[in-house]
Copies of this chain bind each other. A is one copy, B any other.
């Protein structure tokens, strides 16, 4: 198991300090196979990693920074599906469906990602059942969160949806509190399925009610319990 390896080689998957969970299901040989078929790429904020509709030839593993995943609609109106922080794979169903991307991935900060040949990952899935099980587990977690998301966006009002977004950001994406958000108000709106004006008003209300503290892009969650209440009841 990679987890227990003490050998550390720079710039290799084995050296990757906090390997993505699914990696743990791979043997050293298999990890090396990935090593030989990956490219590590640096992205600046705003740069596209992959684009909805484009061929899906690679699996992407985020190794530093933060990535925003969204579905494109009419220009200017996107829907943020979620964020991926290091070290995690982006579970985009494209490679298993029609070899095209169904969402767009954009770097929110300076980001490094490893692009791994999709064939290699698929080969590993068909040769290492333990790895396949881990992938299934991960996609299943994604599915559950999508169920909740659908439920959130159809049944909840703006307050509940913003509460969900904030609870998603902290501590899942930003483990510290207060934290600096690398997302614009428009991004937060796209995550919550509303307009930027609406989310600004809701955040203002939360601030007035001492649920959060907000100065520019520095946010602090003060009353998590109340957010959870609003998520369910509001």
Please name the residue on chain B nearest to A97 by beta carbon: B140
Q: By the criterion CB–CB under 8 Å, are A155 and B77 in contact? A: yes
One complex includes copies of this chain to the number of: 2
Contacting residues, chain B, for A127 (C-beta < 8 A):
129
Q: By the criterion CB–CB under 8 Å, are A73 and B130 in contact? A: no
Q: By the criterion CB–CB under 8 Å, are A147 and B193 in contact? A: no
A11 at the interface (CB under 8 A from B): no
Q: By the criterion CB–CB under 8 Å, are B150 and A81 in contact? A: yes
Q: By the criterion CB–CB under 8 Å, are B137 and A136 in contact? A: no
Binary B-proximity of A127-146 (CB < 8 A = 1, otherwise 0): 11110110111011111101
Contacting residues, chain B, for A129 (C-beta < 8 A):
125-129, 132
Q: By the criterion CB–CB under 8 Å, are B137 and A135 in contact? A: no
Q: By the criterion CB–CB under 8 Å, are A147 and B71 in contact? A: yes
Contacting residues, chain B, for A130 (C-beta < 8 A):
126
Contacting residues, chain B, for A144 (C-beta < 8 A):
93, 97, 102
A115 at the interface (CB under 8 A from B): no
CA A94 to CA B93, docked complex, whole Å: 19
Residues of A within 8 A of B (CB): 71, 73, 77, 79, 81, 91, 93-94, 96-97, 102-103, 122, 125-130, 132-133, 135-137, 139-144, 146-147, 149-151, 153-155, 193
26 A-B residue contacts at CB 8 Å? A71-B151, A79-B155, A81-B147, A91-B143, A93-B139, A93-B140, A93-B143, A93-B144, A94-B140, A96-B137, A97-B137, A97-B140, A102-B144, A103-B147, A122-B133, A125-B136, A126-B129, A126-B130, A126-B132, A132-B133, A132-B136, A142-B143, A143-B146, A146-B146, A149-B150, A150-B153
